[in-house]
Structure 1
Amino acid sequence: MGLDVIKAALPEYAKDIKLNLGSTVGTSTLSPAQAWGTALACAVAARNPIVLREIAEEAAGTLEPEAVEAAKGAAAVMAMNNVYYRAKHLIGDESYATIPARLRMQIIARPGVDKGDFELWCLAVSAITGCGVCLESHEKTLRGAGYTREQVHEALRIAAVVHAAAVTLDAETALA
């Protein structure tokens, strides 16, 4: 179950992804809750049903129910924020920065888990969706809260590998 199912589904050309799944999520230097929350948030963001189902199942063995909901909530709110803030940035007109978002983001204030862990999950999702503004904001918040560069780096590694597994499985499904 879980990561083993994903690894078994990956084709031989994605052997590096198979190996990296175990070494990023399975043996992360993050706490188990941080690592599995990151993996779950990233699986939601990566949108592959196999990756999401299997990571959610394995994460449930480590995460409290509130953390499962918070990881999914991080992916949901960042799906909105990453589009909004990336678009404002890409337009290149600084006057947009003065216009309030007027988008509800209450989960950020009360995520139901440690706020730093929630920020870590938001950062990882932002890496997948490519929002530089959100990456910078979440990294700054994390560093200000005492998280190390190594912890940020670990979350980025998990995001990269979960996303790569999802992309590969999507490609294989489309080509089948």
Structure 2
Amino acid sequence: MSSVSETKEKKEWIEWVKAIVIALLLAFFLRSFVFATSIVEGDSMDPALEDGEKVIFNKFVYIISEPERGDIVIINRPHKNYVKRVVALPGETVEMKNHTLYINGVEHDQSFLNDSARMLTGNFGPIEVPEESYYVMGDNRAISKDSRNGLGFIGREEIIGRSEFIIYPFNEWELTR
């Protein structure tokens, strides 16, 4: 009898080990190829994202599609990742005139900005975005290092994911799109 219960117990342990190994492999796959986390550093995306917030970003989405205007993206640059909003797409002409954003000469709504951020965005352009590049800006335009002043055009290969969800602090859980 004890041999039967030992065999049953051994099989149960093997099943547990298999389940744990599968769970670890699945977690590794998801972390490596689908989702990752990033910590927002600074106030350049305020109020959408605040300093110290931890976000989950989707790495897979841009394997099957392209970034769209309005997406909050993670940009991989040497020594640092940046979180910015896509403002203009490849081949478009972007211009800011009298606190209004124009894409290809057409006024573009920036409902994600509050009035003070809109008023603090200085005039620029028109600027044509090269093919395979994007024009990005932070939502806190007065202090953001972005395509206007330091980051320049963002190559498609530098965009590693789209911000999807704030996970920390816990009381601020929300979608970032």
TM-score interval, smaller chain: under 0.3
Q: Which of the two has higher C-alpha Rg?
A: 2
* Structure with greater proportional helix content: 1
Greater relative contact order structure (CA < 8 Å, 6+ sep) = 1
TM (normalized to structure 2)?
A: 0.27
* Structure with greater proportional strand content: 2
TM (normalized to structure 1)?
A: 0.27
